[in-house]
Structure formats: C-alpha cells, structure tokens
Amino acid sequence: MQRLDKIIASTGKWSRREVKALIRQGRVLVDGIPARSAEDKTDPESAEITVNGEALVYRRYTWVMLNKPAGYLSATEDGRGPTVLDLLPPELKKQGLFPVGRLDKDTEGLLLLTNEGGLAHDLLSPRHHVEKVYYAQVAGRLTEEDCRAFASGMTLDDGLVCQSAGLEILSAGEESEAHVTLREGKFHQVKRMLAFRGKPVLYLERVRMGNLPLDPSLSRGDYRFLTPEELESLRSL
C-alpha cells in the first residue's frame, strides 16, 4: 500500500503538489470513486486509478531500451556534453533512471536505463557472466588467429587482463566486420582488445545484452519500455 500522491507522482507527469490540486478538484478516481486525500493509501498494482479520465499506468520499476546514437554520454549528468537522459521526455527524466553500464560517447546501439538498482547491479556483476555482443567495423583483415587470441584471453600492453571473449568474423578485407562477445565490461575493452591485435575500431554498436537483442524497429535515438516478457528474461539471467 502506498500514498496516492506518491503513486501518481512516480509517473513523472505531476509533482506531489500538482497531485494534491487534482485530488481537490475531483479529477482523480480510485476504482471509480473520487479520491478524498493525497494521503489515502492504495495498492497501485490492483487499484484502477484514473487522472482526468485517463487510466494511470503504474510501474514499480521502469525499464527502457534505448537505441543510443553517437555523441551522447552514458551518464545521468555530465558537464562535458549531452547525456542519454537528454533523449528522454521530461516525465521519464524525473523517474531517477540511470544507464545499466556504459557505452562510449561514439559507440551506438543497445543501452538499458532503469531505476531498479538490484537487477541492474546483477546484470553488470562479473560473477553472472551476462554476455554483451557488439558489431564492430575495424581497419585491417581479421583472421582466425585473432579469433583464437580472443578465445584464449589476453593481457594488453598496459597490463589489462582480458578474459576469454568471442570474435566472429563477418567479413575480412582491408576493412573487416565482426561480432565481439564479452562476459565482462572493462573500460573501452572491445576497442583496446582489437587495437592490441592491430585492428583499430572504426565503428562500434552494441546489438545484444544477455538474451535481449536491440529492437530493429527502434530508430537511432528512439526508446521504448521493456515488455514484461523481456524483463522476466533478464531476471532469469
């Protein structure tokens, strides 16, 4: 059971002060009955709450899939430039969302945002080995020797130890394409591993996280909420 003003304000559309005004004006109904007070408690998952005649969509936690474009920082705020939260509408920006992991400023693709700290932490924890898959374009010809080096794990020139990773060559030539699969998430790891093999990254896009692929219908910069089925699949990891 939660206070009515807290439930309605959690959508990000109204402040608690605005909710109190709506209730005084009789514009908030709970199971068809006008609410009496902002302090009334109800179960947001079972009660039917309407505001101005429109049904309230309550989410205990919010999970958003964003198709991140280049040029945005994976942060909630940063004085160096726009962040991924700047791609969201005001009502979502008020919900305390944060990126689940990071993508470099120039890296595009799948980025999850949420206000559920526990599951976000579990998805990023090295002990759970949740796979992240990237599409990479590189300068130079990728070879089976590169694939074996990724599979064996490698220690970079700066001492960074990288665990076994997957490298699937999609095309090879003066420029090559590949899918890279990581089970950890160290700083600039994909770029650093490929650069160590003499194949610097020209373009990078995350296309999958765990069993959740980037929705192909999402244009760059667009977002959507995760479905209950997608969220359950993440919890199963």
Q: What is the pLDDT of residues 145-159, one digit of tens each?
A: 999 999 999 999 999
Query: Confidence band (pLDDT; 50, 70, 90) for 79?
Result: confident
pLDDT above 80 (res 10): no
Average pLDDT over residues 102-131: 92
pLDDT, position 163 = 93
Mean of the per-residue pLDDT values of the chain: 92
Phi-psi domain of 90 (left: phi exceeds 0; alpha: psi -120 through 50; beta: other): alpha
Q: What is the pLDDT of residues 164-182, one digit of tens each?
A: 999 999 999 999 999 999 9
Verify whether residue 215 is a known catalytic residue: no
pTM: 0.82
Looking at the DSSP assignment, which residues form a beta bridge with residue 29?
34, 50
Contact 118, 63 (CB under 8 A): no
Is the model more confident about 194 or about 3? 194
* DSSP H/E element including 22: helix 16-24
Q: What is the pLDDT of residues 17-36, one digit of tens each?
A: 899 999 999 999 999 999 99
Catalytic residue among 40, 43, 86, 104: 104
